[in-house]
Amino acid sequence: MADGKKELTMEQRLLLAFVLMGAVIFLSQYLLPKPPQPAAPPKKAQTVETVKPAPAPAAPAAPESTEAKSGAQMEYATYENDLYRVKFSNKGAVVVEWTLKKYKDADGKMLNLVEKANTDLTGGHPFTYGFKDAKPSADLAAKLFAVTNTPNGVVFDYADANTVARKSFQFTAGRYLVEVDSAVAEKGVPLTHSLIWRGGFGDHTVQKSYAAQFSIFLPPNDSSPTTYESAKASGGAVIDVGDYVFAGLQDQYFAAVALPKPGQTIELTTLSDALPYPAGSADKLPFVGAGLSVPGRNQFSMYVGPKDLDLLEATDKRLVSLVDWGWFGWIGRPLFAALRWLDSSYVHNWGWSIVILTILINLALIPLKLSSMKSMKKMQALQPQVAAINEKYKGLAMSDPKKQNQNKELMDLYNKHGVNPAGGCVPLLLQFPFFIGFYKVLNVATELRGTPWYWVKDLSQPETIPVRILPLLMIGSQFYLQKMTPTSGMDPAQAKMMLFMPLMMGFLFYNASSGLVLYWLTGNLVGIGQQLLFNKIAPASAPVTVPAPKKKGK
């Protein structure tokens, strides 16, 4: 951020909301003290089998002669297939556009992974040469390369009396895969160099795009990658060297990572550039960049495309770790599988698939919810006895030993009547794993990116209309669910605290993805139906009366 302060992520905010809700529900019975009411191992190395793609036709070997070779004028070369279109400039032999045909940006255009405004400012178009130690006598970034089009790509050559350079891009048909081969020699001596991509990567049209862009690499013995945000490289560069499985750049839904050949050591340099955000603004924010280098000559495959599980696995099974499911991957993966099955087999609409799956989940949890509701009914019936015990120990400090007797009497009362004092937390705890699972699915599944639902243009993003409808409906449904929940015997202060919860959740959800809000709203509507049914078939229990204390002398 511009002021150096790091904001909480949406995942951290939502986790905090659940912690606060649980704390209010569970602790209020002791602090107020009244019974709660319902509010709406070390990593192991992963052994994987690599599926090797069909080899692309090899480019010609690096020139050995010093015969002068260069482009006569500045020109552009383009390689295009059904999946993407890549536009090159022969000035410096760089990429100026990398467009994915099957994916749209936030403006509805085909997604270009290169931000032209940023690369123009940094002078670091993708695959620009970078030299750390020995440098060639020629400024290759300013030289015009000779262009040779091949059936599967483009080859760039430059040579003068001292410097010889070649850069080749050979693409694999039907896959988001390119074979990169880059060599530079000065007076016959090979020069180690990097290929640099600056100014950020991915979809630059989404809100706060810089916050989702990272450099990334996977050590051979780790099951999940290491990522660096641009701030890590502020004031310089961060260099990581190793025999990594892959290394490069990513944003929320796309990646550009090198896959070194067996035995290769690759160096990843994480860079940071302070660039205007939004474009043309005087305010500047850090955008990540990366340089990739193999000693001597850069020869590696690169995956440049969506973080789609099927596509990643078809390219190299190890690439699936690019999709970060987080702590709740054990629930996120089956949720995504269920959503994809509903969408592809029956519903053919991701929004309605979310609604149907949410209903099914809530129906499956009915037995546990009914048990929790019955426990709370019993708690309400015990209110007079709870009040009598609290009155008996009124005024005692928390440190007073007699306070333990109060807690013991309360627990004995609950045990006698088969009541769980934390029963109100059960519905919340049941929802939490599914909630985080849906959150992760909406944040990592490229299939949901850009998916519309009625007035919602993209279920993976907040609504774009001036007043967001789904969050307001969610707040209203949560208030209604809270009001209709039995509250007899609840302390007025506690009741007010519970009614504050929908406002807090609405504040946090207002900027959440529309799909996540749709999930919570659907859960509220199902909860309202369940509560109406339960109130009808299970009327409130009669309160347990407490005999009036006898007066002394009688």
Give the type of residue at 179: E
Q: Which tokens go with 501?
A: 């919860």
What residue ranges do the domains of the chain occupy? 76-322, 330-382+417-537
- Asked if residue 355 lies in contact with residue 438, where contact means CB atoms within 8 angstroms, the answer is no
Which DSSP state fits 346? I
Instruction: Determine the Cα–Cα distance for residues 257 and 267; give it in Å rounded to an integer.
Output: 12
Which parts of the chain register pLDDT below 50? 1-6, 24-62, 488-489, 548-549, 551-554
Q: Which tokens go with 245?
A: 């499985």
Model confidence pLDDT, tens digit, residues 385-440 = 888 887 888 877 777 777 788 888 888 888 887 777 666 566 667 778 888 888 88
Q: Which tokens go with 18?
A: 């659940």
Instruction: Determine the Cα–Cα distance for residues 315 and 37; give it in Å rounded to an integer.
Output: 51
Q: Of 359, 339, 197, 321, which Cα lies nearest the Cα of 268?
A: 197
Q: Which tokens go with 308?
A: 């789609």
Cα 335 to Cα 42, 98, 151, 279, distances in angstroms: 25, 32, 42, 38
- Asked if residue 84 lies in contact with residue 176, where contact means CB atoms within 8 angstroms, the answer is yes
pLDDT of amino acid 213: 93
Instruction: Determine the Cα–Cα distance for residues 223 and 413; give it in Å rounded to an integer.
Output: 50
pLDDT of amino acid 249: 97
pLDDT of amino acid 43: 36
CATH classification of 76-322, choosing from 2.70.98.90, 3.90.1150.10, 3.30.360.10, 1.20.1070.10? Answer: 2.70.98.90
pLDDT of amino acid 94: 97
pLDDT of amino acid 66: 56
pLDDT of amino acid 12: 55
pLDDT of amino acid 132: 86
Instruction: Determine the Cα–Cα distance for residues 271 and 269; give it in Å rounded to an integer.
Output: 6
Model confidence pLDDT, tens digit, residues 373-399 = 777 777 777 778 888 887 888 877 777
Cα 391 to Cα 31, 333, 385, 406, distances in angstroms: 14, 51, 10, 10
- Asked if residue 448 lies in contact with residue 515, where contact means CB atoms within 8 angstroms, the answer is yes
Strand-pair partners of 284 = 276
Q: Of 462, 469, 452, 448, which Cα lies nearest the Cα of 206?
A: 462
